[in-house]
Amino acid sequence: MAAFAIAALSSCGGSTGGDGAPQAQADSLVTRADMTLVLDSIKVHWLKDNEGDKLMPPALFDAPDSLMSRLGLQEGVPSSVSTFLVECGGRRILFDTGNGAADSRLMAGLDSLGLGGGDIDYVMLTHLHGDHIGGMLLDGDVAFDRAQVYVARQEYDGWRQMPDGKGAQAMETLGKYGERLHLFDYGDSLPCGIVALDASGHTPGHTAYRIGRLLVVGDLMHGVALQSSYPEYCASYDMDKERAVGARRAMMEYACDEGLTVVGMHFPPSLYVDCLPVE
Ligand SMILES: [Zn+2]
């Protein structure tokens, strides 16, 4: 049995770990965004892509109304569209890229840290939905002109083979990155010691990434206030619901066993979740 302990950390540096980063690196990490967490030698910047507040409509979830009301979620489930910038060993890794819409805040978030698209070394994609890869392009061209881009082969193939041209946009976006696009299998060794984990179900090759004590879970949970306690309920966006439920349970258990801090692309802003085993 395992449960998530919800902990909202809003101040710079958080309290979940010591800053083991070398001084020279720490000096270059000017943190003006207020949603930063230090976990041992990595620094995690929460970059919210959407403007304003965001509630997922209750009808999105297949949970009974009575449960949603009991949890105080009858008006909606607090969420966001977010990306995460991790600084580790002098490298900058961006996990997903947001919507790429006119009001997207990703580039402004990077700018607030003194960074531009050209400063990103790696882009790790959890999956190929538009709210995760939309920001890969800027005015039709690549937004990260130096970055090596990683996506699970299972996810790439899933969208490449999607009927009715549903994967065409994703293929076109990724195609712009040419030889800088890398497909991996789960378990392959990735840059910066990143471990890719099979969290498929939401999409054909939905991927969670572990880096140090951080677990980036993509769209494992669209409504963390509901699904962290009730992983059996899906959002309608989950393509294979049975697998999505299995992935939620497996990732939660993994995070608890390993004592990881969990972030997701639709968690409400600054909600870093520590998973603690319970009796
Ligand atoms: Zn999403």
* Distance between Cα 265 and ligand 1 center (Å): 7
* Res 147: pLDDT: 98
* Distance between Cα 133 and ligand 1 center (Å): 10
H-helix segments, 16-143:
23-28, 65-70, 106-112, 130-133
The answer to whether 43 and 86 are in contact (CB under 8 A) is yes
* Distance between Cα 118 and ligand 1 center (Å): 24
* Distance between Cα 214 and ligand 1 center (Å): 19
- CATH number of the domain encompassing residue 96: 3.60.15.10
Chain centre to alpha carbon of residue 18: 23
Rg (C-alpha) for the chain, rounded Å, is: 18
* Distance between Cα 227 and ligand 1 center (Å): 15
* Distance between Cα 266 and ligand 1 center (Å): 7
* Distance between Cα 127 and ligand 1 center (Å): 8
* Res 272: pLDDT: 85
CA distance linking residue 132 with residue 83, whole number of Å: 8
Give the residues across from 6 on adjacent strands: 273
* Res 271: pLDDT: 84
Q: 104: helix, coil or strand?
A: coil
* Distance between Cα 224 and ligand 1 center (Å): 13
Q: What is the largest CA-CA distance in the chain?
A: 54
Least Cα distance to 217 among 174, 177, 249 occurs for 249
129 HSE (CA, 13 A, CB side): 18
Residue-by-residue pLDDT tens, the chain, 279 positions: 455 555 443 332 333 333 333 322 232 223 334 588 899 999 999 999 999 889 999 999 999 999 999 999 999 999 999 999 999 999 999 999 999 999 999 999 999 999 999 999 999 999 999 999 999 999 999 999 999 999 999 999 999 999 999 999 999 999 999 999 999 999 888 999 999 999 999 999 999 999 999 999 999 999 999 998 899 999 999 999 999 999 999 999 999 899 899 999 999 988 888 876 554
* Distance between Cα 18 and ligand 1 center (Å): 31
* Res 234: pLDDT: 98
Domain housing 220: 2-277
* Distance between Cα 48 and ligand 1 center (Å): 13
| Number of domains composing the chain | 1
CA distance linking residue 100 with residue 131, whole number of Å: 7
* Res 35: pLDDT: 83
* Res 18: pLDDT: 33
The residue to which tokens 């302990």 are assigned: 5
Those residues whose C-beta lies under 8 Å from the C-beta of residue 77, and which sit 6 or more positions away, are: 55, 56, 58, 60, 61, 222, 223, 224, 225, 226
* Distance between Cα 129 and ligand 1 center (Å): 6
Give the residues across from 83 on adjacent strands: 47
Quote the Cα angle for 194-196-199, to 5°.
Answer: 145
CA distances from 185 to 49, 162, 169, 206 (A): 28, 19, 22, 12
* Distance between Cα 97 and ligand 1 center (Å): 11
* Distance between Cα 56 and ligand 1 center (Å): 11
